[in-house]
Amino acid sequence: MSSLQRVMMKSRLPPMCPNPRFPKPSDRGFRRQTDYNPLMWDEFFAEKKDVETGKGKFRVYLSAPSEPGAPLLVLLHGGGFSALSWAHFSSEVTKLIHCQCLAFDIRGHGDTYTEEEDDLSAERLATDVGDVMQAMYGESAPPIILMGHSMGGAICVHAANMFVLPSLIGVVVIDVVEGTALEALASMQSFLRSRPTTFKSIQHAIEWCVRSGQVRNVESARVSMPGQIINIETKQLATNELPLKEDSAAEEKLEFKHPNAIAEDAECGDTASSSGNDDPAIQPPANAPVNLRKYAWRIDLSKSEKYWEGWFSGLSQKFLDIHVPKLLLLAGIDNLDRALTVGQMQGKFQLQVLARCGHAVHEDRPHEVAEVLATYLIRNRFAQPTTDGQFLRHLPAC
């Protein structure tokens, strides 16, 4: 029986009686419990280290070493994110091809602390990339694929044009185009003001990250969001508090028992007193500690506004001028501006569009992005597939 026949016959069957013991997700009152507890970095990377340069200390995460001659993927995160946003992608791509992943926290982000942390100019950030690679490998650097998302993608283009990486063999840019980026800057401040400034717990921050749509993949948000917030009291990154104590994780788990429910606002004192409910057994304890401002953002992106235009101005032409093979990965075909459209028609770079994902493409769909990158590297003979590297080869397509 063909699949079409099965579908037609199934549509003629009477509906089954619903079983109240096993509610469906569409049933009213159904709540699927979501785990918002954070994940540790060592579930995805093999090593973390602090690399000293002449300008400060950079936090670096490395996957396990690969075979000799395999390329090194240097991963640059977007503005406000951290190196841990590449965690799931690194785990996926190393299963497909022989390579090593290196992700580090850019100046002013994550666990990186440098002189003049507020200096986020494109030239400064691009120079930092070269300084970190020089401090780690010296003159014996392996072949490097420079890959960046959003602001990190712009830094990749600037670094390639400044020739700070002599062993550079390829550039990959994720969801950043000059035209659309410059247009979005006008509303960037209002977007930043719409975000909450503080969070009461790490789990609460992860929940906001998923619900707001910043990251649509819950598993990715669980590892990346702790790298974006700091403890207000200790000024330490939230990742330094992991793993959480079991009692703390259990308390937060109870609080997020119904993640889709909307908490009601507390009634005013007059209404509460008029209800006549004076039972002390159900009153909250007077000395219960309530701290709704425990974590804040690691970086205040609104203060970096003077550098925004410098990141993206002339980016399309600089991208086309890069002399190594290039890959542009977008979340929508409408994001292409005129210069890149012409360049793509002339075959100057490879274009790949992944639908049904947000701006953080590599977090929302890490496996698909890993497949696209693996296809790009194998097609250009930069890397070799692993023994079990059977995956869908993505041809350049819109």
**Average pLDDT, 10 consecutive residues per value, the chain (398 residues):** 46 51 51 85 96 96 93 97 97 95 97 94 97 95 97 97 96 94 92 94 96 95 97 95 76 44 43 44 49 88 95 95 96 82 93 90 95 93 82 59
139-174 as b/e, with b when 16 or more CB fall inside 10 Å? eebbebbbbbbbbbbbbbbbbbbeebbeebbbbbbb
Between the alpha carbon of residue 164 and those of residues 144, 160, 316, the distances in Å are 11, 7, 19
Confidence (pTM): 0.82
Which of 173, 182, 126, 107 has its CA nearest to residue 361? 173
The pLDDT score that the predictor gives to residue 333 is 77
The pLDDT score that the predictor gives to residue 156 is 98
The pLDDT score that the predictor gives to residue 33 is 81
Return the CATH superfamily for domain 35-195+303-385.
Alpha/Beta hydrolase fold, catalytic domain (3.40.50.1820)
Dist CA 111 CA 25 (whole Å): 40
The pLDDT score that the predictor gives to residue 26 is 55
Give the burial class of 187: count Cβ atoms within 10 A of its Cβ; 0-12 exposed, 13-18 middle, 19 or more buried.
Answer: exposed
Q: Identify whether the C-beta of residue 150 lies closer than 8 Å to the C-beta of residue 166.
A: no
CA atoms within 13 A on the CB side of 342: 6
The pLDDT score that the predictor gives to residue 247 is 61
H or E element in which residue 76 lies: strand 72-76
Q: Which are the catalytic amino acids?
A: 150, 175, 359
The pLDDT score that the predictor gives to residue 249 is 59
Dist CA 73 CA 80 (whole Å): 21
Q: Identify whether the C-beta of residue 33 lies closer than 8 Å to the C-beta of residue 259.
A: yes
The pLDDT score that the predictor gives to residue 188 is 93
Dist CA 11 CA 6 (whole Å): 9
Dist CA 11 CA 3 (whole Å): 12
* Terminal C-alpha separation, the chain: 35
The pLDDT score that the predictor gives to residue 160 is 97
